[in-house]
Structure 1
Amino acid sequence: MAKIRLTQQMNASSSAIGRPCAQTIQQLKHLDHTISRQRPAFEKLLVGPMMIFGEMITGGHYLEVLRLGKQMTTGRTSGPSYLCLHRSFVSETGLFGAVYRGFLPWGLLQCLKGVPVLFVQNETMYQLRSRASWSQRSAEKFSGFLGGAAQAVCVCPLQKIKVSVVACPTMNLLTPLQATQRVIKTYGVGSLYDGIIPMMMRRS
């Protein structure tokens, strides 16, 4: 009889211990299915643009200007050398104007090109996982694509106007609003997004 009572007590103790364990397991499962909204990495809003800004003001922007100038002469029988392009830019706007040709505000705004990626990617990831129950891997891929597309939508018009400023010295003398109006009047609103599909594919 004593052995039977001892066995019953042990079974009762096991059941009492098992109930909290089962509840804990259920709570963990519930937490696993609850997707919390992660904050964007706000530190990247400062570090990323500052790194791009530093690279651009120390010669990166002017190298891009020279590249654009060279590419716009492709197909001619005798394209100008980089030295000739440099002399041409300096003669038109002076040394400072040549080095920072098209930098304000178009090049400067491009320093913020990571901002739309950061917010669109984080928000899309949250919505897909919490509302559509997508897997982590699928949500990461699709949100990355949308983040790159958002970046292309923001950057493409800036690059279009910057190219126009580099190509035409008179555009460089206009205010940002006047330069934008000139491009839209000459080529149409749709021209601001010329080449957006390849850009979206590249950035996604």
Structure 2
Amino acid sequence: MSRIQLLKQATRLVGTHGFTREALAESARALPGQSEPLSDLAVSALFGYGDDARRVLVNAWLDEGLSNMAAQPSTSVRDALHTRLQQNEPVLGHLPEAFALLASSSKLVPLDPIPAAQHTFRVVDTACRIANDQSVQLAWWKERATLAAVYGAAELHQLTSPTTAPAFLDKLLDEASSLHKVADEVGLFSSYVFKSWVGIARSKGFIS
């Protein structure tokens, strides 16, 4: 059994086990001829010690989300972002903890906003490539910065109101043209999204 196979199986267990070492251990049972979970020692050897293993699982799940997103027959940025938002639905209860894990991975700062920013940027970059976006240079960056702020806000909204998240995403996309004109507002909006993620994670006890 390979590390890649185990990770792939573990991402399918996130809905029931969360982003946990247990999910990584139980992934072995899904492989042919395996009836026992991995030992904790094996989990550490394959994926890292403590929460590092859980972060590996979070990143594997995010990577799989991008792959699944690209595999869907979307023809527009809007459709692609809706597809990615839908992929969160089975694991919504575990997402605050997942992003808290990523935000607390840095040894230099208590809470690092970079992983969350990278996540939203990768999502919108994939969406733009799916839609064959032809923006170049400054327009390329501005388009993605705006969409990253929009998608991040929609994902945040999804945590508290899953049923209205698709409509909320559409509303933000419809208003994105005005946000697009003011680069400073994009930065402020992104900061707000990150702080809101932190607030939700703290309220659930995932970070102090």
Which of the pair has the greater relative contact order for Cα pairs under 8 Å at 6+ separation?
1
Structure 1 length normalisation: TM-score? 0.26
Greater Rg by CA: 1
Structure 2 length normalisation: TM-score? 0.25
